[in-house]
Amino acid sequence: MMNRVPTILVIEDEPEIARLIGSILESDGMHVISTDQSEPALAAARATACHAIILDLVLPGRSGLGILAELKAHPTLRRVPVIVVSALAASFPPTWRGDVVEVIAKPFDADHLIAVVRRAVESSLPPDPHPATQP
């Protein structure tokens, strides 16, 4: 279980889906920042110490693959785990699969999304210097 509140950046242009993802992750104790455009998304990723990024593939202005390429080329952001959540999940290029934690198709299962995000966050966090002791 996570002792620190992870920050998740959601890059999704459909407001209802962005709110749904935010609600699901916030109910699990995560802090969510959402953006619906590619350029603000990249600026938010650079400015925020996010622990994971959820990325749609279809966005106004730039494709999700273009954003993924820029994230993976950035010296710091390349380490942030990316989870693709998209209606186009089936057409995600196999050559890019190594750059993401998982590709999840819309509609998605909330419990599965939480599990994938938790796994991504836990793999990206440094060890807690003050772990909670268990009885």
pLDDT tops 60 at residue 18:
yes
* Rg (alpha carbons) of the chain, rounded to whole number: 14
pLDDT, the chain, mean:
89
Residue 113: DSSP 8-state? H
What's the pLDDT band for 45 if we cut at 50, 70, 90? confident
Q: Quote the pLDDT of residue 129.
A: 65
Q: Quote the pLDDT of residue 1.
A: 43
pLDDT tops 60 at residue 17:
yes
What's the pLDDT band for 128 if we cut at 50, 70, 90? low
pLDDT tops 90 at residue 126:
no
Nearest to 108 by CA among 8, 12, 40: 12
Structure tokens at 85: 């959540």
pLDDT tops 60 at residue 11:
yes
Residue 104: DSSP 8-state? E
Structure tokens at 54: 């959820």
The owner of tokens 């993802």 is 21
57-112 pLDDT per residue, tens: 998 888 899 999 999 999 989 999 999 999 999 999 988 998 999 999 999 999 99
Query: Is pTM, for the whole model, over 0.95?
Result: no
Which CATH superfamily groups domain 7-122? Response regulator (3.40.50.2300)
Structure tokens at 80: 């942030």
Would you kindly state where each structural domain of the chain is located, as residue ranges?
7-122
**Alpha-carbon span 25 to 38, nearest angstrom:** 21
pLDDT tops 50 at residue 42:
yes
Instruction: Answer with the residue of higher pLDDT: 1 or 70.
Output: 70
Find out whether 65 and 99 touch, Cβ atoms under 8 Å. no
